Homo-oligomer: A and B are copies of this chain.
Amino acid sequence: MYLKNCWYVAAWDHEVLADTLLQRTILNQSLVIYRREDGSTVAMDNRCCHRHAPLHLGRKEGDCIRCMYHGLKYDATGRCIEVPGQDSVPPKLGQRVYPTVQRQRWIWIWMGDPALADASLIQDMFSLDSPEWRWLPSYLHYKCNYLYIADNLLDFSHLSYVHEKTFGGSPNIAEARPEVSEIERGVKVSRTVRNTVPAPYHKRLGNFTGPVHRWFNYDFVVPGILRLEGRVQSVDNADDDMTGALRFHSCQALTPETDRTTHYFFMQAHNFRLDDATITESILQSQRAAFLEDKTILEAQQAMIDSTPDAPPMRPIAADAGLARYRRLLQKMVDAESAS
């Protein structure tokens, strides 16, 4: 139940260096990802068509890759161009390659029909590539289905509970009603929390001594791409007075590895005190600490679901509006794809 004709994030650009053969499983497919001499990326089925040994244990030779079991050599289009001890190459030999695009620090991959791969569908993750924002890249591997992480991201009420001591700080976030609306290929969520205590880590960063307003505005589009603008400012300021406000922009991407594991690529950028590297590092650590709280509850949720296959269905509450809308939209797209 995956959307195929869409762009998934396959890797951070720095995960694939000039000589890297990166093994990465995406939608249950084992891939090897590497770079041509010109720096462009190649994603190829990792299972050698000959004896099913993995190519990531192979050798990069220029733009080509050689399986280091029996020496079959493939070019960057997946064509087999050499079989040791044999003069001609049987036409059935060859590897499937997947369209990839590197943009703004992420390597995107198209797992569906290559003829439909349209790079204009790739979201603009502007803060990944802007001198006005500072950030550090991060990655976590979650032992749960990616939709449980999507659910989590589509209902920030969990900040009050899962992240009580990090991102949250008070039940006010859960009490605030978000606005959820459908956008192209996704949903948009806006939540304003007025006159609340600052989150513990905002307090540290912003030196707030009294109550604050908090804004969360984000869109979440298929297959799991989040762009979030966050703002915290003192209640003493007018809404449009940014003096002393903290502004964040976060880019996050969920890529299913298997039905029960997920690659999670993320960063959280700040546009204040750009010259202070300790701020950037501190935000990274705070975000990772909070995401590890998510990881704990989500992996426990997955384990619970796995261990009770006959459980009654989940019971909806009002806060599910965002995730329910996203799941319906995704299901519709998956159905349309399998019908075509």
Contacts and interface: CB of A to CB of B under 8 A. Distances in A.
A68 B162 contact: yes
A333 to B, nearest CB: 23
Question: Nearest 3 A-B pairs (CB), nearest first?
Answer: A84-B174, A68-B161, A86-B318
Interface string A37-54: 000000000110111111
Interface string A157-184: 1101110100000010011110000000
Of A53, A176, A305, most buried by chain B (CB within 10 Å of CB) is A53
12 contacts: A28-B307, A30-B304, A30-B308, A46-B304, A52-B311, A69-B158, A69-B297, A70-B158, A71-B171, A84-B157, A85-B319, A86-B317
A52 B175 CA distance: 21
A311 B84 CA distance: 24
Contacts of A28: 307
Interface of A: 25, 28-30, 46-47, 49-54, 57, 66-72, 83-86, 90, 92-93, 151, 155, 157-158, 160-162, 164, 171, 174-177, 296-297, 300-301, 304-305, 307-308, 311-312, 314-319
Nearest to A47: B304
Given A52-B301, A71-B174, 10 more contacts: A47-B304, A52-B311, A66-B161, A69-B158, A71-B160, A83-B318, A84-B171, A85-B174, A85-B175, A92-B315
A181 B172 CA distance: 65
Nearest to A305: B52
Contacts of A83: 317-319
A172 to B, nearest CB: 10
Nearest to A312: B49
A312 B51 CA distance: 11
Contact of A53 (B46, B72, B155, B297): B297
Contacts of A68: 161-162, 164, 297
A69 B161 contact: yes
Nearest to A83: B317
Contacts of A70: 155, 157-158, 161, 174, 317, 319
Contacts of A312: 49
B84 A52 contact: no
Given A67-B161, A93-B315, A160-B71, A301 B51 contact: yes
B85 A318 contact: yes
Nearest to A87: B318
A304 B57 CA distance: 12
Given A53-B304, A57-B297, A317 B72 contact: yes
Of A171, A175, A304, most buried by chain B (CB within 10 Å of CB) is A304
